[in-house]
Amino acid sequence: LLFHYSFLFYFYGGEVFTMGVHSDIDRQIEKLRRCELITEDEVENLCQLARDIFMEEGNIQSISSPITLCGDIHGQYFDLMEIFAIGGDAPHTQYLFLGDYVDRGYYSVETVLLLLALKVRYPDRMMLIRGNHESRQITSVYGFYDECMKKYGSAHIWHLCVDVFDYLPLGALIDNEVLCVHGGLSPELESLDQVRMIDRKQEVPHTGLMCDLLWSDPDCQAVDFTLSPRGAGYLFGERAMDEFSRGNNISLLCRAHQLVMEGFKWHFNKRVLTIWSAPNYCYRCGNIASLFEYHGGDMHPRYTFKMFREAPQEERGIP
């Protein structure tokens, strides 16, 4: 049996308080912060709690500034610890993670479980949206499936996690003017109401609006839309961004999805921003990483970047 609790559920300060579960989640967070695995039963309970929270969130989750945005993590657990060290811990800092939590790094399991545990503990302070790697097909190829098999001895944990991925929101809207998705725009996208109407609780499709939101990239050579060399999504140009922005009162599109050696990159006269938060990507690319602190449209400065490099060698390990 997974639960032996009678639940009393209430919210205070963005934290979830449940009799019995509250202390369990705190204990699991502390264990995961030491890069230690939690039990299979605990993962099952955690995934159920996280899924229940994501079910209540919209396809585009409305949030308010100030908030710190993070790009791809890709299982680089010790660099996630660097993010919390320089950006502040939840719940003191409000975070929006833009997807791609797993694959390629050595610690995808610990990374995604810690993020889910923090989401359950502080649901209004930890926002997670879906990336293109939060899918069954991609994680079967790029490492997460194999890591689950190695660390837990079966595919059960992988199945639990990818089932949760189906419930992740597709985007977020900060202060009704800053749109955040993992990838980019779609030729099918005219209004944000189209995104709100998607049945997102599914594997990422190979084509269509949901696919494009997770796979597309900005490109200065494109005018409107051209097919992406990735084999999914599109390259979208400045005119496409202009038309979408005017039609939806969007001042800025924040996204991740692309390795940027400098940690971030502006596109189209600072109307699109790529954020990358996995330093020395794949432990060999030599790039730096960034956090994007958005203070608000009426604040001065409106935003700041925090740059960081990979965690020191003595603080990381290879499993």
Q: How many CB atoms neighbour CB 317 within 10 A?
A: 11
Q: Is 141 exposed, middle or buried (0-12, 13-18, 19+ CB in 10 A)?
A: exposed
Q: How far apart are the C-alpha atoms of 110 and 274, rounded to whole Å?
A: 25
CA–CA–CA angle 76, 270, 63 (5° rounding): 60
257-273 burial by CB neighbour count: b if 16+ within 10 A, else e? bebbeebbbebbeebbb
The verdict on whether 182 is a catalytic residue reads: no
Q: Cis omega before residue 229 (within 30°)?
A: no
The token duo for 200 is: 């997102």
Q: How far apart are the C-alpha atoms of 71 and 288, rounded to whole Å?
A: 12
What's the length of the chain? Answer: 319
Q: How far apart are the C-alpha atoms of 27 and 121, rounded to whole Å?
A: 11
DSSP, collapsed to helix, strand or coil, labels residue 65 as: coil
Q: How far apart are the C-alpha atoms of 98 and 174, rounded to whole Å?
A: 13
Chain Cα centroid distance, residue 275: 11
Residue among 74, 92, 133, 267 flagged as catalytic:
133
Which residues contact residue 100 at a Cβ distance below 8 angstroms, ignoring those fewer than 6 apart?
A: 71, 72, 73, 74, 131, 132, 133, 134, 182, 256, 257
Tokens 């985007």 label which residue? 171
Cite the active site residues: 133
